[in-house]
Structure 1
């Protein structure tokens, strides 16, 4: 719920310190609160996705707007990793280790992209953004299986698909630092999606569910809009997508 950027990063570092010192508190809280809007600064202004201005990457403003959109995703990803820890309090200890690790890497990504945006002459909040990632996080707060299927394995997995083309665009405008940053993000996000995959499969096994059938059913029941390609099949395989899931995605892409 912390809205100050610096304080949020500091508190996350403290959580990581408690973990390494084995003083992290695993006692369940007396109540688990719904969080319709996690802590964030007053800016950026949040608007529906269709109201986001279209900007050409070739312009200075368009270049910065692209990096700002990535920065906003990384900020939301910190909150959703922390929510995964807080909200689901009956999982094995390794689950909390994994998601605290994800939160730490997303925080590092946020700080790295924020520094690059600053060198482009802008700051977080200078452009409008949309809140789709957090809205989906909120809508899946009732069931960890749905959360794992829809947030890391669907929305965050989309980053595996769109990052390579963004790398090519940044390379075309000569942004070498941006290219290196996105390479780091792509490498780490494969691991984050794999964390979601691993715990999704764990929950399917616990509930005696078929992972492929369950995943496609969650998409049908909860995903807003169409799941469409192009998909980065190589990265998705690295992130734990099964042969059945890859084959299904290929049918969506060809359609």
Structure 2
């Protein structure tokens, strides 16, 4: 883990790289927080002087499996089902820390300084989300790493490593937007299982995810306008080219609208 003084002596690109090269979850969490504090305080230089790793460092656990080999979590309210669901969500947030800092370090040089401000905030949120979910897992007798997880999120990052518009189109505007659609039902399931604490945590995370999708949509529109293309049409082309899944209902249209991701983007691809 990089100490605060070490992080603050780095450029923003090197600081992002330091986050990504932390394998230990606790070290990644603390380094991400230190980078966010240092950037906000003006102690980290707006310089892009190193490349991002092809893959972030990962801890020995959880075991990473292809999505097709992931065990079924079940939809019931048993303790085992709730632990598996919380673990899956914690893994998503853990990978999302790297996605935010990779986005900054990989593409920040070609974008305005405000781009870094927005994605530093997202990265700090993802670190907080991981921390509270792992704390909840521990309260339920488990911890991050106790269940297998899949590597689909980083596959999407690798697929879009060469194009900021593609990365924004797929990660915040497809994958995080999907969380807006399914999280309300997940919250309801925890509430029905009398797990009010987990439901409250997910409600907080859902509010933050609206802001993350909003940041993705904002900067995607900026990038599309810069190259003189229709943002909705360009988004649809990029999704067809780079996304291996499907864009399918049900959609949380109100949350998507709040984030600026209106139906003109996704309605034509829905089936």
TM-score by length of 1: 0.94
Aligned match for 2:147, one of 127, 130, 133: 127
Question: How is 1:1-255 mapped onto 2 (pairs within 5 angstroms)?
Answer: 1-29=21-49, 31-35=50-54, 37-56=55-74, 57-88=76-107, 89-245=109-265, 247-248=267-268, 252=270, 255=271
1:247 Cα shift? 4.1
1:156 Cα shift? 1.0
Measured in 2, the distance between the counterparts of 1:65 and 1:50 equals: 16
Mark the runs of 5 or more structure 1 residues left unpaired by the alignment.
Answer: none
Deviation readout 1:131-177 (Å, 9 max, x if unpaired): 10111011111000000001100011110011011011101111000
Q: Match of 1:208, SS?
A: coil
Measured in 2, the distance between the counterparts of 1:11 and 1:226 equals: 35
Measured in 1, the distance between the counterparts of 2:168 and 2:137 equals: 30
Measured in 2, the distance between the counterparts of 1:209 and 1:101 equals: 28
Mark the runs of 5 or more structure 2 residues left unpaired by the alignment.
Answer: 1-20
**8 Å CA contact retained: 2:77, 2:192:** no
Q: Match of 1:94, SS?
A: helix
**8 Å CA contact retained: 1:233, 1:246:** no
Measured in 1, the distance between the counterparts of 2:38 and 2:157 equals: 26
Deviation readout 1:89-148 (Å, 9 max, x if unpaired): 221110000000000011000000110111111010110010101110111110000000
Measured in 1, the distance between the counterparts of 2:82 and 2:198 equals: 10
Deviation readout 1:168-222 (Å, 9 max, x if unpaired): 1101111000110110011000000000000000000100010011011011111
1:49 Cα shift? 1.1
**8 Å CA contact retained: 2:129, 2:205:** yes
Size of the aligned set, in residue pairs, is 249
Measured in 2, the distance between the counterparts of 1:91 and 1:55 equals: 40
Measured in 2, the distance between the counterparts of 1:75 and 1:196 equals: 18
1:242 Cα shift? 2.9
Q: Match of 1:183, SS?
A: helix
Measured in 2, the distance between the counterparts of 1:192 and 1:38 equals: 21
Q: Bigger CA drift: 178-187 or 16-25?
A: 16-25
Measured in 2, the distance between the counterparts of 1:13 and 1:34 equals: 20
**8 Å CA contact retained: 2:48, 2:105:** no
Q: Bigger CA drift: 165-174 or 218-227?
A: 218-227
Q: Bigger CA drift: 49-58 or 156-165?
A: 49-58
